[in-house]
Every structure is written in structure tokens, then in C-alpha cells.
Structure 1
Amino acid sequence: MVSIIVPVYNDPEGVRATLESLRPQLAATDATAVVVDNGSTDRTPATIDSYADGESIRHRTEAEIQSSYAARNTGVRATDSDILAFVDADMTVPENWLESALAEFRSTGADYMGCSVDLTLPENPTLAARYDHHTGFPIGQYLEHQQFVPTCCLFVRREVFEDVGLFDHRLVSGGDKEFGNRVHEAGYEMHAAADVTMFHPTRNSLRALISKDRRVGRGLCQLQRYYPARYGTPGVPPRPSGIKSPDPALPLRDRLAFSALSHTLTGVRGLGYYHEYLASLRGGDARDKGGAGDSAGPPELEPRP
């Protein structure tokens, strides 16, 4: 049995698009979707309820911890499926996506698999959208060089969670990398499904890009704080990896703009890192009230009877 975990926070239109995309494939594969609302304050819960039938689509809530990783953990606990897939609210999938993904997952003997992600541009895309589309989701590179894939396109066997634990909900970003690194260290088979594609909308504003990179910077510091043996000493940021050389085939104007934006966002990432670092020196972290704080590490998943 397969369950698709969809975490969501204040995104009614995004979760609607995702469920419209997934729903036709659930009956065909005997899969279920578990949509976990992370304490939304808008129409998101009502939107989920309009699709939930208690069987193929189920609505769960994680209101105690404001964290997409906590929401994913709640989804995992809400099902006893052998295979768990993770899809972000606002993503869409083509016909036969689930069937193709499961066929590759099983035929390769993978325990942990990432799908390919194509970023979709809106009509008349902004500079921010075109930049986001250009940088993309290099899933194969993530897996080859950093031993992880993003949680927006991930398949994992339940036994892996039972062995290495769930996602670390203390992290505002980088929980996908930390979990993938644990899976790699435990010796499980990891695979990138290059021919199984999902779709993710681009971030279309500079504010959205800044918010993401600031969060990534905070997550880098938290990884060092909680896992210094693996990620380095807190206060010494990792070498920047956000600066990407624009494709030489791009028009000169785009190359110059993308290069400037890449350097700017790398600086934003650094600001996020030091914001988190200074907050940790004051005896806490930079999470908003209601966050996971400095509690224990990744929670365990109890084996099924």
C-alpha cells in the first residue's frame, strides 16, 4: 500500500491544484493521500475538507509544531503504508505519475527515491521567476554530491523511517538533507528517477526568493548546531553553494541580472545564518513562538505490530 503525504500551510489554491492532480491516480493505484494542515489560518482547512472522503483522501492536522517536517511526520504516523511518498502542496503531476514512480521504485530495489522536478513559468514571467526557473531542481546532482533529494518529490520505504527515525522538526530548512544523509549513512539504496517528472511553480517575486534563502541560511546554522560532527562548527558557515554561473547561451542582459541576483541571495543566506547563530548564543533559536525550539532530535517511528 502507498500513501502520499501532502503538508500545507495557508495555501488553499496550492493544495487544491495538488489534490486535483493526484485524485484521479489514487483509485487507479489503490493509494491514499494524507493532507496535513500545519495550523493554517485561512481557507486551507475548508479546501482540504472539500476533497477529503476519509478513505482515499484524508485530512489530518499538526497544530502543535509549526514546521513542514513536523507535518510530514504527522502524515507518516497517520498511515501504516509500506511506501510513503511526499508531495508539496502547490505541486502537480502528470497522468500515470504514481504508476510510473512505483514501477521504477520497485524495479530498482530503491529504499529512497527522488523524482525529477520541472519548474513551471507563469505567463509573462518576472525576473525572479525566470531566475528560479534557470536555477532549477538538479535532483541527480543533489543525490550524487550531497546524498539527499528534496522532500517535495520523495519516495521512502516505511522500514527506513522505522530504522533511522523521522524528519527533524527542529529545522526550518535542510531537514530533507539531514534525513537523506542519515539514510545514506545507514546504507540504504538511494535512487534518482530522472524519467519520472513532477511540476513545481516558480517563485515569482524577489520577496519570495529572499524568504526562501533567508530560511535556507537559518537551516544551515541549525544543521551545524544540532549536528556539528556532520556539518561543522556553528559560527563558521559552510562554503557558499548558491552562486551558480548563468548559462552562456542566455542573453547578456539575463546573464548579468542572474549573476547579480545569485550573489545577492547568497548574501541573504548569510544573513539568515548569522541571525540564527546570534539567536542561539542568546539561548534559543530564531523560530517564531510556537516553533519546535531546542527539543530532542528526530523522533522515532514505532515499528508496526
Structure 2
Amino acid sequence: MDYEPSVAVCVPVYNDPEGVRTTIESLRPQIDDRGVRLFVADNGSTDETPAIIREYAASNQSIVHLGEDCIQSSYAARNAAVRTAESEILAFVDADMTVPEGWLQDALQVFRSVEADYMGCNVELTLPEDPSPVARYDHHTGFPVEQYIEHQEFAPTCCLFVRREVFEDVGLFDHRLVSGGDKEFGNRVHDAGYGMHFAGDVTMFHPVRDSLSSLVRKDFRVGRGLCQLQRYHPERYGTPGVPPRPTGVKSPDQSLPPADRLTFGALAKVMVGVRGLGYAREYLAARRDSSEGSRPGPSGLESS
């Protein structure tokens, strides 16, 4: 019989009880009786999220509840799962996502057939029944995982498979980053010579952001992350104070109805501005506390 490597699915979460319940329910049929373990890493939630995770963990020995209370960072939560899991392949899924029946089996089949070390899956954004203009805009911008891998050498951490030996070689996610940690890690993996693969036929589902406030919070965080990438990794991303060219903000497709083109075009410009504000906020904050020095960056698996 062919050797089957051990697998762990890692889900970070912070104050999202319904999202983590949805994701665990979606993943649970695919981990039961298969030797796959699900590590749910709570990042210091202050609501009922930890109680929900504990409830699932108490009824299913394949589900492990982890806590990362020291560092407020989704990447720190993912690192906690990587350190704890002893599996040879680690899959990363965000809380609030869902996967179809057979997702894990299909993904592992592709991962194994192409002898991948690092692989991103296809992500489809799902709309509510009566979507707002913001929700339709977010859906239109899409989740271009294939383009990320091909042109920017990374896959988002919501749809990522990585072999453990890659972490042992290049280190963990940089927990200092509020956004862009997936890109920074992927770029390290690429620079170390590992091949990257896109599993276009393996699809996961992510709900759209359906309010302007949620979209603004995301793009403000992305802007902060762009500055932090330069602050902590200037050799790769440039000097802080000179923002990189905007990426990830898609112009409206010309095939859209005129009203949608106008709305989406306006939202795209606003989001570029929001990212700029996030960048400026982080740049000014860095200047204020530069005398304090930087916290340690990504480290090996043995670190606490």
C-alpha cells in the first residue's frame, strides 16, 4: 500500500462564533475516521467563540482547541497550529469558509500527484440572496489565487496547503504583520526554490463582505500591512515612506451594466484611498516608536 502522509487542517479565529461553527461543520465530515486532525486556534476571543470550539473538541477527538492569547495576530494563531500539529501536510482554512464534499480528498490527490510543497486552491466568493452594491463589488473583484501565485509568488492563507518541511526550512509566518503575511511567507518559500502549484479544480467558498464598513476595515488593514512589509522586510519590499503600486484593486469589467461600472469604479478608487490611509497610519506610528525597536520576526518551529 502506498504511504499516506499525515494531514492537519488549521483554522485561526477571533470573535467569530458563527463563522467558526460554519467552518467546523463543513470540515467535520472530512476529518472523521480519516486520521486527519483539525486544529482550531483561537486568537484571544472575548465572546462565545472559545466555548463553541471546546464543545466540538469535547465531542470529537480529531478536533483540537488551541489558544494564542499572547500575540494578537491571525498569523500567530496559524503558527500555534503549525507548532502543535505533528502532521506532514498542513492545510489552512479561514473561519467562515466552507468546503464541498470531497474537498480534502481532492486537494490531497492533486497535492500528491504533482509532488507539491506549496499549493493554493481555487476560491469562489458567495453572495447573499439580496446582495448590496458592496457585496456585488466584492464578488466582482474576486479571489484571483492563480494570478497571485503566477505573478506575486504566494497564495492566500485561506486556501493554502504546505508541507511541514517547508516551514522547517524557511520559518513560520511573520506574526508582526496585520496583513500581507501570506505574501511574505510565500515569497520566502519561492526564494528558497520551492515550486508553487495552483489547484484550479479544487474549490473552496468564502462569503463576500457585504457592508462598506467591513470592506473599509479590510482595505485599511491591507494598507497597514503594505507599510509593515517595507518596515520589517525592506530588502524585498522597499523603503517605508514610498508606497508600492496599488495591487489587488480590480477595475470594473467593461461588460458590466453602466450603473455597476460607475458604482464599482467609485468603490475601487475609494478603496485605494483607504489603503493609502492605512499605509500612512502605519508609517507615522512606526516613526513614533522607532526608538523602541522591532519585535522578533518569524522563527523556527521550536519557538514559543
Q: TM-score, normalised by structure 1?
A: 0.95
Measure the CA separation in 1 of the matches of 2:113 and 2:103: 15
Larger mean CA deviation between 119-128 and 44-53 belongs to 44-53
Task: Give 2:211's aligned residue.
Answer: 205
Tell me the residue number matched to 1:216.
222
Aligned-pair CA distance for 1:113: 0.3
**Partners in 2 of 1:31 and 1:142 — Cα distance?**
28
- Please tell me whether the aligned partners of residues 141 and 249 of structure 2 are also in contact (alpha carbons under 8 angstroms): no
Q: 1:99 aligns with which of 99, 105, 120?
A: 105
Count of matched residue pairs: 296
Amino acid corresponding to residue 52 of structure 1 in structure 2: A
Task: Give runs of aligned pairs for residues 220-231 of structure 1, distance below 5 A.
Answer: 220-231=226-237
Q: Secondary structure at the match of 1:52?
A: helix
2:155 is aligned to 149
Q: Counterpart in 1 of 2:3?
A: none
Give the residue type in structure 1 aligned to 2:284: L
SS at match of 2:123: strand
1:243: how far off? 3.8
Deviation at residue 242 of structure 1 after TM alignment: 4.0
The answer as to 2:24 corresponding to 1:22 is: no
Match of 1:239 in 2: 245
Instruction: Give the unaligned 5+ runs of structure 2.
Output: 1-5
- 2:88 & 2:128 partners in 1: Cα distance? 37
Cα distance per residue 1:267-299 (max 9 Å; x no partner)? 0000000100011110159xxxxxxx9311102
1:12 has 2:17 as partner: yes
Of the candidates 122, 125, 141, which is equivalent to residue 116 of structure 1?
122
1:163 counterpart residue number: 169
The offset of 1:29, in angstroms, is: 3.2
Name the counterpart of 1:289.
none
Residue 302 of structure 1, CA deviation: 3.7
Between the aligned residues of both structures, percent identity stands at 69
Residue 40 (structure 1) aligned to one of 41, 45, 60: 45
Contact 1:109–1:189, Cα closer than 8 Å, also in 2? no
Distance in 2 (alpha carbons) for counterparts of 1:219 and 1:280:
12
Aligned AA (1:40): S
Equivalent of residue 36 in structure 2, options 28, 31, 36 = 31
3-state SS, counterpart of residue 3 of structure 1 = strand
| Structure 1: stretches of 5+ with no match in the other structure | 286-292
Is contact 2:7-2:88 (8 Å) kept?
yes
Q: Which residue of 2 aligns with 1:294?
A: 294
Task: Say yes or no: does 1:130 pair with 2:133.
Answer: no
Q: CA deviation at 1:27?
A: 2.1
Partner of 1:276: 282
What amino acid sits opposite 2:210 in the alignment? N
Deviations 1:163-212 (A, max 9, x none): 00000000000000000000000001210100000000000100000000
- The CA deviation at 1:261 is 0.2
Q: Which residue of 2 aligns with 1:288?
A: none
Who is 1:68 aligned against? 74
**Under a length normalisation based on structure 2, what TM-score does the superposition of the two structures give?**
0.95
